[in-house]
Structure 1
Amino acid sequence: MTAEIYLILSGKGGVGKTTVFSNLATSIAMLGKEIIIIDADLAMPNLGLVFGMIDPPITIHDVLAGSEPLEKAIYEGPNGLKFIPGGESIEGFQAADPSHMIDVLDNLKETADYILIDAPVGLNEDIILLLPAVDHIIIISTPELISMADALRMLLIAKSADSIIDGAILNRTSVYDENSAIELLEKTMELKILAVIPDDINVHRAGLNKIPLVISNPDSPASIAIRKLAAQLIGVEFIPDTKKSGIIQKILGALGFNVNSNERPN
């Protein structure tokens, strides 16, 4: 097996990149694929938090600093997903050498079907160095004009580095802005829309519970969009499983997780 490597980018913060990223990866794992995800945002990592890991003992920073072996920084998430979180310390950030990320990918690519890299906001020099090593690039944007303008900048930078962007995920959309945003991205920027994810209050609730939305509420509007994208990326048909999702909801509810209410949390 040789992994297909995806780099997930965003032009600005606050577009829900890590949330979409982690749920997309979880969805791919739920489809039976071996997947490893990496937090490459060395300055402001938060991938571990998504999976309920506040202070991982060994992180990608330690690996990039050469102080710990790669295998010790790999943790198991839901459905067999494996993830490599980042660390929070200033010392770890200063010690990490981003140029070693290529070596990390080389060591991992024979151990999984897919590798997803959660990149920092924008395209800094460290990420530009990664572009030749990845197979696919996806930009996450929202329908806001500023976010789409930043997506265009990312597109231009990637093209200048002779990299091809597969397309964009349009996140947090509403019926009021979806069509105009799609038209701007596809017709004006010539950027293919891979998925349109609706604004969904269940995303916030899943974040509070530290459970991926596609597990806690697999039939919510955002979950369905993400799961469809996962099926599309790996080349299988998307088949909703409402009976299974009902059982999951009951189990999580019995454990005290608030997954059924449609009211906005305070």
Structure 2
Amino acid sequence: MPVISIVNQKGGTGKTTTSLNLGSALATLGKSVLLIDMDSQGNLGYSLGLDEGPSISDVFEGNVAIEKVIQEREGMSIVPSDMRLVDIELSLIDLSDRHNMLNSKIKAISKKYDYTLIDCPPSLSILAVNSLYASEKIIIPMLMEVLSLQGLDQIIQTIDKINSTYKKKLEIAGILPVMVDKRRKLSEEVKDHINENYDVNIFSSMVRNNVKASEAPSFGQSVITYSPHSNSAKDYMSFAEEMIKLN
């Protein structure tokens, strides 16, 4: 079943929020979900109140099998991260197959899940390349702002480079507009510009600005669990339904 990276090389685009809440929404709809945190900040685990313990860093170091670091929350299986990933990234630099390390670790286990979602680091790093190489598709959470277009160009260039270098067929599943204020005309103008100038799908779903999504991590929950009737929860549920129809 699909392995999907949630990616945007610009910070503050709701990447972790989307990984967490899309995963929880899919689980609510009866799908089996594996979440993998590849960001050394470990925000995904923090947002779900995970216990301290082994992480993806231990898997990379060969200390433990990936099955042994999984924690369960909200019907999802989560592989947490920690700051040691920074050092691990440095250790990968001289390896000939450095792009394939994550893929080799998750290949067998990801087949057991309907969806594997990877929360990518916010920069084009070896860890990001690992995430993309292990994936079949990517989702781009994106603010509907002019400056976001530069980030979109970078992502497209990165995907093209990975596909040509490693003979991959990595696809952009689509752009998810996030933190949308429907009162702002600019949002529609940016969407129109993308439709006219890029061969990239924009999902019908969008995630509206809503404080509940920001509050939820403080309680170690997704917004789906924390505030199921909020705009954010409704939007992520709609997005999950759209994703299921596409796969």
User: Take 1:96 and 1:29, find their aligned partners in 2: how far apart are those partners?
Assistant: 35
Q: Which of the numbers 53, 76, 92 marks the counterpart of 1:81?
A: 76
Q: 1:47 touches 1:85 (CA, 8 Å); kept in 2?
A: yes
The one-letter amino acid of 1:65's match is E
Task: Specify the code of the residue in structure 2 equivalent to 1:87.
Answer: D
Large movers: runs of 4+ above 6 Å:
none
Task: Evaluate the alpha carbon distance shift between residue 71 and residue 164 of structure 1 in structure 2; reply closer, same or farther with a 3 A threshold.
Answer: closer
Q: Give unmatched runs, 5+ long, in structure 2.
A: 93-97, 164-169
CA contact (8 A) 2:57 2:85 kept: no
In 1, Cα distance between equivalents of 2:110 and 2:162: 23
Q: Which amino acid aligns with 1:208?
A: S
Matched residue SS, 2:199: coil
Contact 2:180 2:187 in 1 (8 A): yes
Give the match for residue 46 of structure 1: 43
**Root mean square deviation of aligned Cα:** 2.2
Spell out, residue by residue over 1:28-47, the C-alpha distance to the aligned partner (whole angstroms, 9 max, x if none). 01111111010112x32221
CA–CA separation in structure 2 for the residues paired with 1:186 and 1:125 = 31
Q: Are 1:198 and 2:208 an aligned pair?
A: yes
Is structure 2 residue 163 aligned with structure 1 residue 166?
no
Q: Which has the larger radius of gyration?
A: 1
Letter of the aligned partner of 2:8 in structure 1?
S
Task: Quote the Cα distance in structure 2 between the aligned partners of 1:95 and 1:128.
Answer: 14
Question: What residue number does 2:155 align with?
Answer: 154
* Shift in CA distance, 180/124, structure 1 to aligned 2, threshold 3 Å: same
Superposed CA deviations along residues 177-203 of structure 1, whole A, max 9, x for unmatched, are: 321121122222232111321111111
Are the counterparts in 1 of residues 120 and 131 from structure 2 also a CA contact under 8 Å? Answer: no
* Secondary structure at 2:138 match in 1: strand
Residues 59 and 66, structure 2, Cα contact 8 Å, conserved in 1 = yes
Contact 1:102-1:133 within 8 A present in 2 as well: yes
Q: What is the CA deviation profile of residues 5-58 of structure 1, one whole-angstrom value per residue up to 9, with x for unaligned ones?
A: 1111012111111011100000001111111010112x32221101012x6210
Deviation at 1:100, TM superposition (A): 2.2
CA distance in 2, matches of 1:132, 1:212: 27
Q: CA distance change for structure 1 residues 70 and 6 in 2, over 3 Å: closer, same or farther?
A: same
Aligned-partner residue type, residue 229 of structure 2: D
Unaligned 5+ runs, structure 1: 237-266
Task: Provide the residue aligned with 1:253 in structure 2.
Answer: none
Report percent identity of matched pairs: 23
The one of 224, 229, 238 equivalent to 1:228 is 238
Equivalences for 1:120-131 in 2 at 5 Å?
A: 120-131=121-132
| Residue of structure 1 in register with 2:167 after alignment | none
Q: Provide the secondary structure at the position in 1 that maps to 2:117.
A: strand
Counterpart of 2:211, as a letter, is I
Distance apart, 1:96 and its partner CA: 6.8
Matched, 1:59 2:55: yes
**SS of residue in 2 equivalent to 1:196:** coil
Aligned equivalent of 2:196? 187
Cα 1:70–1:90 shift into 2, 3 Å:
closer
Tell me the amino acid that sits aligned with residue 2 of structure 2.
E
> Partner residue of 2:166?
none
Give the whole-Å Cα distance in 1 for the aligned partners of 2:222 and 2:239.
16
Q: Answer with 27-36 or 95-104: which moved more.
A: 95-104
Structure 1 residues 59 and 92 mapped into 2: Cα distance closer, same or farther (>3 Å)? farther
| The one of 14, 26, 30 aligned to 1:32 | 30
User: Amino acid of the residue matched to residue 76 of structure 2?
Assistant: L
What residue identity is the alignment partner of 1:135?
A: E
What corresponds to 1:250 in structure 2? none
Please give the residue correspondences for 1:208-227 in structure 2 after superposition, counting only pairs within 5 Å: 208-227=218-237
Query: Residues 141, 107 of structure 1: CA spacing in aligned structure 2 closer, same or farther, 3 A cutoff?
Result: same
The separation in 1 between residues aligned to 2:44 and 2:131, in whole angstroms, is 19
